[in-house]
Amino acid sequence: MQEEVLDFAANIDSEDKIHIIFLLKDGNLIYYLYNERKWLKSFIKKLDTQSNIYKYLNIYIINNEINIFYTYANLINQNLWTIEQLIGTKNNWTKIRVNTFLSEKLPNPYYIDYDNMGNIHLVFSAKEKSLNHVYYTFYNSFIKKWNQIPEKISSSNVNNLFPYLFVDSKSNIHIIWSSLNSKDYILNYKKFAPLGQDRYKWKEIKLPTISNLDFIPIALEDNRILKIIFIKNNKIHYLYSKDYGLSWFKSKNSYEINKDLWLLSYSSNSLDEYSIGKKNHLYCKINDKITFYSDKSYKKNSSEKKKVNFEKGNNISESEEDLISEIYKLTKSISETINNIEKDIDLLKEAFKNSHNDQEKNNLMTKLSNFFK
């Protein structure tokens, strides 16, 4: 691929098919499918990259349909953002507007997950007057429509940042975010359950006090135990719940990590892995190796870049090295995209220039700068 890539996303399904999408500088949205040792390329549509800014490209395979998400804003009004969905198959796509909202010039990422029925759940933050709030909306897989009125999750009259959403194996929905309390950003949590006494309504559950995190926290399920993984003072810590979010406890275990981390999407086609847990994102360090950080330890790939394990249960064989080599060539062309993220820090600084005091401002900017390194 010779064209300049603005953004990309990838996923792997239960049939060992690899799905990759690229947004090129000229606006072409390209879809690659790897199936039966062959790459199939198709054109999805042309986006208006001359007039709009596009961010946070994602791809999911849900009920055998490809779901592509992205958010965009017009260059003239970079505070009004729209999340769009493209749903369909290789040659038949339908565009759906999910939601339009006010935000900073660089919005927080939105996060998506789906339940056992194929319903899609989405969390995002939007600006309301001078404050950021957390909102939730969903896509009903039966009527194939998005809820038209997003629900406000953050109820306090303070600034709220960095929401994250996770759906566990029982289809419980979990949202975590940070809200300003005096001079500290405190971690908050709400749960939405399809069963039980509190079904079909959001319930706020108190967490052990966690404040002023270094990075966006994530949630995952490990051997039927829910965990909230967070980084503070360059150490990984975690909260855990053995009753699917009804009560939470802080683990005494922690370990130091490298400062230069990324938060990356994670997907697996391993049936063994999904039988005992689920994870959508992991912290990692990228250099000549990829190091994934979790709550207990970290996993490294081989020092040879093309020796990648796609989580099928066995290492990829030598006959599949051409696939890995091709993926490596494609992803290498995206290095400029990663470098451009650092430029967005200036926009983040402008967005939070009205913080309550200088100390709070400095602390927040340090954390944001570390995250986007």
pLDDT in tens, 349-369: 555 555 555 555 555 545 544
The predicted model gives 169-192 an average pLDDT of: 95
Alpha helices in the chain (DSSP H): 271-276, 321-332, 335-341, 344-351, 358-371
How many residues are there in the chain? 373
pLDDT of residue 130: 86
The residue among 221, 307, 313 whose CA lies nearest residue 270 is: 313
Instruction: Band the pLDDT of 313: cuts 50, 70, 90.
Output: very low
Q: For the chain, what percent of residues have pLDDT higher than 70?
A: 76
Instruction: Band the pLDDT of 308: cuts 50, 70, 90.
Output: very low
pTM, rounded to two decimals: 0.80
Mention every residue, 6+ apart, whose C-beta is less than 8 A from residue 278.
168, 169, 220, 221
Rounded Cα gap, residues 354 and 361, in angstroms: 8
Task: Give the other-Cβ count within 10 Å of 33's Cβ.
Answer: 16
Q: Which residues pair with 94 in a beta bridge?
A: 87
pLDDT of residue 354: 54
User: What SS3 class is residue 139?
Assistant: strand
Instruction: Band the pLDDT of 307: cuts 50, 70, 90.
Output: very low
Instruction: Band the pLDDT of 319: cuts 50, 70, 90.
Output: very low
Q: Which residue has the higher pLDDT, 297 or 263?
A: 263
Q: What is the dihedral of CA 122, 124, 126, 131, to 10 degrees?
A: 130
CA dihedral sign of residues 273, 274, 276, 280: positive
What would the pLDDT profile of 100-147 be if each residue is shown by its tens digit?
Answer: 999 987 778 899 999 999 999 999 999 998 899 999 999 999 999 999
